[in-house]
Amino acid sequence: MRMPKVIDTDYLVIGSGLAGLYFAAHASEHGRVTIITKRGLRDGTTFLAQAGIASVLGDDDSFETHIADTLTTGAGLCNENAVRLTVESGPERIKDLMDNFGVQFSEHSDGRLDLGLEGGHTRRRVAHIQDFTGEGLMFKLENAVRSNPKITILENTMAVDLLSNAKYGKSNSVFGAFILDRNTNTIDTVIAKATVIASGGAGKVYIYTSNPDTSNGDGIAIAYRAGAEVENMEFYQFHPTCLYHPSAKSFLISEALRGEGGILRRADGTAFMNSYHDMAELAPRDVVARAIDTELKKSGDDSVFLDMTHLDGDFLTKRFPNISRKLLEFGIDMTKVPIPVVPAAHYCCGGIKVDDSGRTNIPNLYAIGEASHTGLHGACRMASNSLLEALVYAYRAAQEVKNSTLERPQEIIPWKSGHAVSSDEGVVVSHNWDEIRRTMWNYVGIVRTDKRLSRAKARIDLIRDEIRNYYWNFLVTPELLELRNLALVADLIVYGAQRRHESRGLHFNMDHPHRSEFYHRNTLLFRGVGPSHS
Ligand code: SIN
């Protein structure tokens, strides 16, 4: 532990994925930026993104077609203005990446972009860097931010809570955050004109997830605690195809494989997607994940199989070098044998409610990327629309923050660490963590019922009570902060799911199996209307 410090900056960015870094690069044109990230710069979800960025780039495509596909996949809950804004801004953002950040997307031999196809899309429109798009993007953006003298990067640093003028008897506006330096276990204070949450999703709330260990909804939780509005948390997306292997930790098998002709088969070799949807393997993700779930429950098998063996082997290894290599490490040659796959939690379609410039309901607090809810995805996100959304809203927020002015109290009340006794009960944290993730998987997964949701709520309530006592009695640790955030996010998901008595997009409840006009609306949660924030 060292003496706490106060850091002054113009824009504080919490999170270091595509949205955070792209915002930082653009916002640095008119101010100083401080990025905090709880592990290394590359430890977020973007780095793992395989498929790419959806945008209207092909001769046979149009804005209207991309908009229509997004609306259909979103099952009636997309905000049409957000969809139009995002889709129409796409080509300009892609050009910015190529011209100003040096991103090189995969191309055909004649120099045209090689566009991928994924579920829900009726045209090829996914710009990609083979099958490691996220890694390729992060490499370029990391170079841009690390070499920019106006950007400071604090790794191993996590947000504890936002600083709000409401604590000083004024109207609620945010002026920075308390942050935990994990290297020294010190809580510092950052003062900023604008605070931007870009901390990604919350896949770790489920036991099986394609997300990295960092994705536990920290940003959504701290924003909710500060009074931000949060929407549609019940729409958690499960990716249909993650590798089923004891040591693979839900390695993603990109939807782009189905875009190139992959076929989903039962263990006995029969293809089944045609009996679930006209678009078969390329149906929206909620349909494919539910179909796989149904097949597994019927057969009792551990996995279904994605068959690529009918496609040219050279093509597969060139188009999917990352996935081919990884599969070979597990002894699976996808050119010869079908790949065992199962669904896993993948993307948070809800999040912190924002307007078309990433502004939340709290002055000087912004949210971008997966932590935000712009209305683009509705009840089910169309594949590869999210990296596009991250770029569009990060850019717009970077223009908007120019107008922020710092409002802060004269004296800031420093962070107080409860009774500050060092915890020797780390095991309690990990037990609670496991229990939340299992509860969510078992009761708040792909298929839900009223009873399962009530069970989940009762368990999450108990755990949150325990954390409340624990949290205030012991020295704050990163694990405890993450647990507290994870439990709140789980509560937000369950709370939203319990209030939607219908089935729509990613929320499927067997007790209410149909779509209902009454629920043709967003689920808005905030302190007072939603789970307890403490
Ligand atoms: C994938 O590669 O299948 C993931 C793409 C996405 O989630 O948008």
Ligand 1 neighbours, Cβ below 6 Å, are 50-51, 252, 254-256, 346-347, 383-384, 386
What kind and span of H or E run contains 116? strand 115-116
Give the phi and the psi of residue 7 in degrees, each rounded to 5: -110, 130
Residue 413 lies in a domain: no
Within a domain: residue 112?
A: no
Mean pLDDT to the nearest integer, 394-413 = 94
Which residue out of 255, 376, 506 has the highest number of ligand 1 atoms within 8 Å of its CB and is therefore the one to mutate?
255
- Give the model's pLDDT for residue 419: 61
Write down the pLDDT at residue 469: 80
Distance (Å) from CA 253 to ligand 1 centroid: 9
Q: What is the mean pLDDT of the chain?
A: 95
Whether 385 is covered by a domain: the verdict is: no
Domain-ending residue, one of 295, 323, 345: 345
Per-residue confidence (pLDDT) for residue 416, from 0 to 100: 79
Confidence of residue 421 (pLDDT cuts 50, 70, 90): low
Domain assignment present for 186: no
341: exposed, middle or buried (Cβ count in 10 Å: 0-12, 13-18, 19+): buried
Report if residue 29 sits inside a domain: no
Q: How many angstroms does the Cα of residue 437 sit away from the middle of ligand 1?
A: 22
- Structural domain ending residue among the three candidates 312, 345, 378: 345
Residue 401 lies inside a defined structural domain of this protein: no
Does residue 423 carry a pLDDT above 60? no
Q: Report CA(502)–ligand 1 centroid distance (Å).
A: 26
Q: In what order do the strands lie in the sheet with 151-154?
A: 151-154, 33-36, 11-14, 194-197, 365-367
pLDDT higher than threshold 70 for residue 282: yes
Three-state secondary-structure class, residue 200? coil
> Containing domain of residue 319, as a range?
240-345
Last residue of one domain, picked from the residues 297, 328, 345: 345
User: Within a domain: residue 465?
Assistant: yes
With H, G, I as helix, E, B as strand and everything else as coil, classify residue 29.
coil
User: What CATH number is given to the structural domain containing 263?
Assistant: 3.90.700.10
Backbone φ, ψ for residue 135 (5° rounding): -60, -45
Cα(118) to centroid(ligand 1), Å: 8
| Cβ proximity of 174 and 362 under 8 Å | yes
Residues 6+ apart with CB under 8 A from 383: 51, 54, 118, 119, 120, 121, 126, 255, 285
What residues have CB less than 8 Å from 43, skipping those under 6 apart? 37, 212, 213, 214
- Overall domain count for the chain: 2
CA atoms within 13 A on the CB side of 472: 6
The string of pLDDT tens digits covering residues 475-491 is 788 988 999 999 999 99
pLDDT tens sequence across 210-259: 999 999 999 999 999 999 999 999 999 999 999 999 888 889 999 999 99
Q: Is 285 noted as a catalytic residue in this protein?
A: yes
Which residue type is seen at 306?
Answer: L
285, 319, 396, 437: which is the annotated catalytic residue? Answer: 285
Q: Of all helices (H) and strands (E), which one includes residue 230?
A: strand 230-231
Is the confidence at residue 354, as pLDDT, over 60?
A: yes
Q: Look at residue 177 and give its three-state secondary structure.
A: strand
Mean pLDDT over 19-36 rounds to 98
Looking at the fold, whether 246 and 341 belong to one and the same domain comes out as yes
Counting ligand 1 atoms within 8 A of each CB, the residue from 47, 239, 243 with the most, and so the one to mutate, is: 239
